[in-house]
Amino acid sequence: MHIMEGFLPVTHAVGWSLASLPFVGYGLHVIKRILQERPQQRMLLGVATAFTFVLSALKMPSVTGSCSHPTGTGLGAILFGAVAMAPIGLAVLLFQALLLAHGGLTTLGANVFSMAVVGPFAAYGIFRLATRLRLSFGLSVFLAAAVADLLTYLTTSVQLAWAFPDPNGGFLASFGKFAAIFAVTQIPLAVSEGLLSVVVVNALKRFNSQELQEMQVLTRQEVQA
């Protein structure tokens, strides 16, 4: 999800920035409301932000010659909802672009859309669906984080294929090539991120079970389990 500086055409860079802007704006409103109504969650919000920063900063070389990263946004989406991760993802990606040379400023909008919009919405939706299907809490968290990771990179593949369609096969052929490049590394990374998210959430469950119940992340039965 770290499309490098200057890689996208100007119209695409501007378009993805405009697409991300409403999510970031509303996400700031949601975070402000959370901190006003439940200031005790400030530390938990910091944990979600740090988790996203650390995981998405890890640069994993791929056997295809590319590189991939975990995303870390699934955890925050489970805890605070999908839209809250948009401004968090923006802050994380901005610092990474400026300090670590991961991604860029001109491609910031595209990277925010894939990692901080699509990923969190996928994680939140999967987690809530799995909860309604009465899957175990750990499995629900695993699926949410892993699918969010994979869909982030599928979105990046869409963005790159749209910007650089194959001369012969067009968008679909280009999408297949980009997705294949990422898939070799990203599938095991998604599984690893899912497992790590389960470990972190189980630790939070152990020490913050009452707070997680108030946030509707845990049910009363899961707290007592």
**6-29: pLDDT as tens digits:** 889 999 999 999 999 999 999 999
Indicate whether 224 pLDDT > 70: no
Tokens 């108030």 belong to 214
| The pLDDT of residue 40 is above 80 | yes
Please state which of the ranges 151-155, 161-165, 212-216 shows the lowest mean pLDDT.
212-216
Token digits for 176? 């297949």
Q: Say what the pLDDT of residue 221 is.
A: 46
Higher-confidence residue of 128 and 214: namely 128
Q: Which residue carries 């707290």 as its tokens?
A: 223
pLDDT of residue 93: 92
At 20 the pLDDT is 96
Q: Is 88 among the domain residues?
A: yes
Is position 3 within any domain? no
| Residues 6+ away with beta carbon under 8 Å from 20 | 86, 90, 109, 110, 112, 113, 116, 117
Using the predicted structure, report yes or no on whether residue 63 has a pLDDT greater than 70. no
The whole-angstrom separation of Cα 155 and Cα 3 is 11
- Residue 70, phi-psi category: left (phi > 0), alpha (psi -120 to 50), beta (remainder): beta
pTM value? 0.89
State the residue range of the domain holding 176: 10-220
Give CA–CA dist 167/165, Å, rounded.
6
Domains: count for the chain: 1
Q: Does residue 85 lie within any of the structural domains?
A: yes
CATH number for the domain harbouring residue 134 = 1.10.1760.20
Mean pLDDT of the chain: 86
> CA 103 → CA 69, 110, 185, 217, distances in Å?
12, 10, 18, 32
Question: Has residue 220 got a pLDDT over 50?
Answer: no
Tokens 């650089």 correspond to 164
Q: What was the pLDDT predicted at 65?
A: 44
The predicted-structure confidence for 184-200, as pLDDT tens digits, reads as follows 778 888 898 999 999 98
Residue 5 belongs to a domain? no
Grade residue 69 by pLDDT with cuts at 50, 70 and 90: confident
> Assign residue 8 a region: left if phi > 0, alpha if psi is -120 to 50, beta otherwise?
beta
Strands, DSSP E only, in the chain?
Answer: 60-61, 67-68
